[in-house]
Structures are given as structure tokens and as C-alpha cells.
Amino acid sequence: MPLIRPFGLPEFWIIVMAAKWTVALSAIAFAGGGLGGLLIALGRVSDSKWLRGLATGFIRLFQGTPLLMQLFLVFFGMNILGLAINPWIAAAVALTLHASAFLGEIWRGCIEAVPSGQREAATALGLRYVNRMRYVVLPQASRIAVAPTVGFLVQLIKGTSLAAIIGFTELTRQGQIINNATFSPFMVFGTVAAVYFVLCWPLSVLARRMEFRFSRATER
Amino acid sequence: MTGIAAADITGSSDLAVQMEGVNKWYGAFHALKNIELSVRRGERIVICGPSGSGKSTLIRCINQLETIRDGRIVVDGHDLTAGGKNVDLVRQETGMVFQQFNLFPHMTVLENCTLAPMKVRGIARVEAEKTARAFLERVRIPEQAEKYPAQLSGGQQQRVAIARALCMNPKIMLFDEPTSALDPEMVKEVLDTMIDLAKEGMTMLCVTHEMGFARQVADRVIFMDRGEILEMDTPDAFFGNPKNERLKTFLGQIS
């Protein structure tokens, strides 16, 4: 058996199949980031100065540092806290925090885009905070939010590639492994890039279409 | 503002709204200056004045859409200065109609009308819808129940807004320039609805420049300027024999 194996169909499929870990990590980060982002967004528009400050600080921190550093800090931070090093958990936690910050800021804008008269009308009807948000503000904000949220999802999927550096075997890391065996970097990373493109491009198209539909729907 | 007077108004008096020494500031801007106002149950008050005079701010203080710096507001026996639960109670008993309608665009007319009764009062959907349809009938748009606000004309939207407020069975109705955003041909249909409401004995506070409406339904007309109540009188005296100079100028400008 030669030391360097050729890049063939089996290698191609190994890379393609690794996409499922990219998808899984993206899904976890997106779900966690969705929940965290909602809390951050609500904190940002809260009446409480403390909550606003806390949410703003969180956003500044995660928007002002590279995702790679966030991954490193969570990864090595877990070690310092005495937890076993686990790339899965580290990547999921770091990406969830990252997504929470970005989605929080995106959704804050969407909440604030709902005219203040809507909140006032709900308040005047006697609806309290939770019902006001749940039935009046958030349904309207979510319509505005769909396009930028899908747009961010694309960024998030591409961002998961950085998890390769802390040893999480997803699409990019699998590419590196195959490349180490085949030494055909152009073929390998061309394949990796193509898989990312197949994942992201339809979402980009979807986001653009939603944006278009929304801009038409708001023309009155 | 003695203790005795304060005790009087929290009891079961015939006062719907009592404002005592109310002051409101927006930063350095003194928006309401020492407002003293008592509104009896069933009374119809029209408030007018130039823009920026504080008239909208005044009625928005009654359901605490605006908070005040000092003074006291008692609505239907609930002291708003006590905060918390009283504010919730007052908002449930006070209906408000806005200049820009503020209907919920993602809900049908019927859903707009049933949301608060269901979520605030805990009324079952079937009953809430029955009530809503009855009020839509009263504002003469029963056939629009399944439509969305954007499909209605301005006048129809404002009548839905009135019906929506009435579905909470309020004791007091606040109108904040309800016809100012309407095309001229739609003003009448909204005013007619308000006149009907006044005839039924609803306590009403209306900020409006519709002086014909003021003459027809108001028990008292109030003139405000620069955050102060400058004149408060019956429509006859208010329009027939205005005493305040600024009011005379104002009436000259709008008629």
C-alpha cells in the first residue's frame, strides 16, 4: 500500500459525509443561539438599566472578538475549570454564545422596528409585558427578522469551519485529514468549499427572496 | 391636597378621574404644569389647544402611558401613584383610541377585538367573539370582521379601534386626536360613532380640534397651552365668551 493514497471517490464521499457534523453543529448553535438571542434581544429593549447594560456588554464582547478566540477561550477555559476537554461541547458552547450575541443584536433591531404605537395600544388594552411581547410585538418583529436571520445562519455555517482548529471533526477538519493522506490540497479543499457552497447558497437565495417578499409586503 | 381631600377621592365618589397638582417633565421641558382636573362619571370632556400644548400628554397620563413626576392621579377610585396593580386595573377599565389607529396589522379585525378580553380578562374565545361582533355591529362594520386592518379605509380602521377598546367594557374612553389622521370624508363616520358613545353615557376625554363635535357633545371644553389648563368651561361659555387671550387667538385661527 503506497504511503500517499490517491484522491478518489471514497475520499470524496468521506468529505461529503463529514458535512453532517457541520450541519449538526450549525443546528445546535442556531437553536441555542436562537434562545440566547431572544433573551439578549429582550434584555436590550428592556426597561431595566441593568438588563440593558448586561445584554449590551455581552454583545460588545462577542462582536468585538474573533470567533476563533472565543472557541479557544471556551476550549481551554473548560480545561482550567477542570472539565474534560471535549471539542464537541466546546464548539457547541462557543458557537451558541457567538450566535446569541449576533442574533440578539439583529433581533433587537427588528423589535425596535415595530412602531411604538403597537406597544402603546397593547398596553392601553391592559396587556402586560409577556402578552404584549408574545402576541403583539414579537409576531411583527419576526416577520422583519426572517431574512437577516437566514443571512446570519449562512455566516454561522461557514463559521463552524473554525471548530476544526480545536479538533472538532467536521467538514473542514475532515478535509485536512484527507489532505494529509492524499496531498491533493486543491482537490480536497475544492471539494470542501463546494460542499459549503451547496449548504449555503440555497439559504442565501432564500434570504434574498424573503427580503424581497418582505419589502413588497411592507409597501403600502 | 389635604389628607381629608385625598381620602374623599379614593372612596366611592362619583369622580371618574381626579388629577391633583400633576407635573410632567421631558428632560428640561415642563410638559404639564400643575394640572388640576376632576371628571365626573358620565361626563364628556373635550381638550383642545395648539400642538405641543400637552393635551395628548395629559390624557396619556390617565392610563400611565406616560409617568408623572409629581402630583396625584386617581382613576375610578384607583390611585395611580400607588403603582403596580392599580395601573393594571386602570388600564383594563380605560379604553384608548389613537390618532394612528394602532391596530395590530398581523391580526384580523376580529382578532384585534378579542385579544385583550381573552388574554387580560380570561374570557373564552366564543364569548369574546360574540361580544366583538356585537361591537363591530355598533360601529357599523360587522362585515369586515375577517379582514386585516390594511384592507380597510382609515375611517373603518378607526372604528375598529373604537370597537376594540369597547370590547374591554371600559368605564372611561380616552381619544387622542382620533380624526386627525383621517381623510376629510371619513371624519364624520368616526365622529358619529363617538357621538353615539357619548349618548350612551360613556365617560369620555377627547383631544380633538373638531369644534362642532365639542359643541354637540361636550359637557366641558378645556383649552391648554404650554402645559397649562388655561380655560375650562361649558361649550356655550367656552366658544361664546372666551376669556383667555390665547384661547381667543386659538379660536380665531382654527375657525
Read off the pLDDT of residues A182-202 as tens digits, 9 standing for 90 and up: 999 999 999 999 999 999 999
Enumerate residues 191 to 210 of chain B having a beta carbon within 8 A of any beta carbon in chain A. none
The pLDDT of residue A207 is 86
Kindly tell me if the per-residue pLDDT of A2 is higher than 70: no
- The residue in chain A having the minimum alpha-carbon distance to the alpha carbon of residue B111 is A135
Q: Which three cell numbers stand for residue A37?
A: 438571542
- Pair type for strands B220-225 and B70-75: unpaired
**Domain B16-102+173-253: CATH architecture, name and number where available:** 3-Layer(aba) Sandwich (3.40)
- The residue in chain B having the minimum alpha-carbon distance to the alpha carbon of residue A116 is B102
Q: Tell me how far apart the alpha carbons of residues B121 and B58 are, in angstroms, rounded to a whole number.
A: 27
The pLDDT of residue B7 is 42
| Domain boundaries of chain B, sorted by first residue | 16-102+173-253
The pLDDT of residue A216 is 66
The pLDDT of residue B255 is 65
Amino acid at A152: F
> Any idea what DSSP says for residue B151?
G
Q: Tell me how far apart the alpha carbons of residues B73 and B57 are, in angstroms, rounded to a whole number.
A: 13
* Cβ of residue A139 closer than 8 Å to a chain B Cβ: yes
CATH of A28-215, one of 2.70.150.10, 3.10.50.40, 1.10.3720.10, 3.20.20.80: 1.10.3720.10
pLDDT, one tens digit per residue, over A67-117 is 999 999 999 998 888 888 889 999 999 999 999 999 999 999 999 999 999
Q: Which residues of B touch A120 (CB under 8 A)?
A: 65, 98, 102
Determine what percent of chain B falls in helix, strand and coil, rounding each to the nearest 5.
Answer: 45, 25, 30
- Pair type for strands B44-48 and B220-225: parallel
For B202, phi then psi, to 5°, come to -70, 140
Å from B99 to nearest chain A CA? 10
Q: Exposure pattern of B148-187 as b/e (b: 16+ CB <10 Å)? A: bbeebebbbbbbbbbbbbbbbebbbbbbbbbbeebeeebb
pTM of the full predicted structure?
Answer: 0.87
Q: Which three cell numbers stand for residue B45?
A: 370632556
Q: What is the ipTM of this complex?
A: 0.90
**Is B65 within 8 Å of A117 when comparing Cβ atoms?**
no
* Cβ of residue B182 closer than 8 Å to a chain A Cβ: no
Among B88, B102, B162, most A C-beta atoms within 10 A, so best to mutate, is B102
The pLDDT of residue A34 is 97
pLDDT, one tens digit per residue, over A110-141 is 999 999 999 999 999 999 999 999 999 999 99
The pLDDT of residue A208 is 86
For B46, phi then psi, to 5°, come to -115, 135
Q: Tell me how far apart the alpha carbons of residues B113 and B103 are, in angstroms, rounded to a whole number.
A: 9
Say what percent of chain A tops pLDDT 70: 97
- The residue in chain A having the minimum alpha-carbon distance to the alpha carbon of residue B175 is A124
* Cβ of residue A218 closer than 8 Å to a chain B Cβ: no
Å from B165 to nearest chain A CA? 7
Q: Which three cell numbers stand for residue B42?
A: 358620565
The pLDDT of residue A1 is 54
* Cβ of residue B96 closer than 8 Å to a chain A Cβ: yes
* Cβ of residue B164 closer than 8 Å to a chain A Cβ: yes
**Is A124 within 8 Å of B150 when comparing Cβ atoms?**
no
**Considering only CA atoms, which of B74, B13, B90, B71 is closest in space to residue B229?**
B71
Q: Tell me how far apart the alpha carbons of residues A84 and B248 are, in angstroms, rounded to a whole number.
A: 82
Angle at B119 between CA B116 and CA B125, to 5 degrees: 85
Q: Tell me how far apart the alpha carbons of residues B106 and A136 are, in angstroms, rounded to a whole number.
A: 8
The pLDDT of residue B84 is 80
Q: Tell me how far apart the alpha carbons of residues B205 and B47 are, in angstroms, rounded to a whole number.
A: 7
Cβ-contact A199, A23 below 8 angstroms:
yes
Could you give the 3-state DSSP secondary structure of residue B176? strand
**Considering only CA atoms, which of B190, B165, B179 is closest in space to residue B100?**
B179
Q: Which residue ranges of chain B lie beneath pLDDT 50?
A: 1-11
* Cβ of residue A126 closer than 8 Å to a chain B Cβ: yes
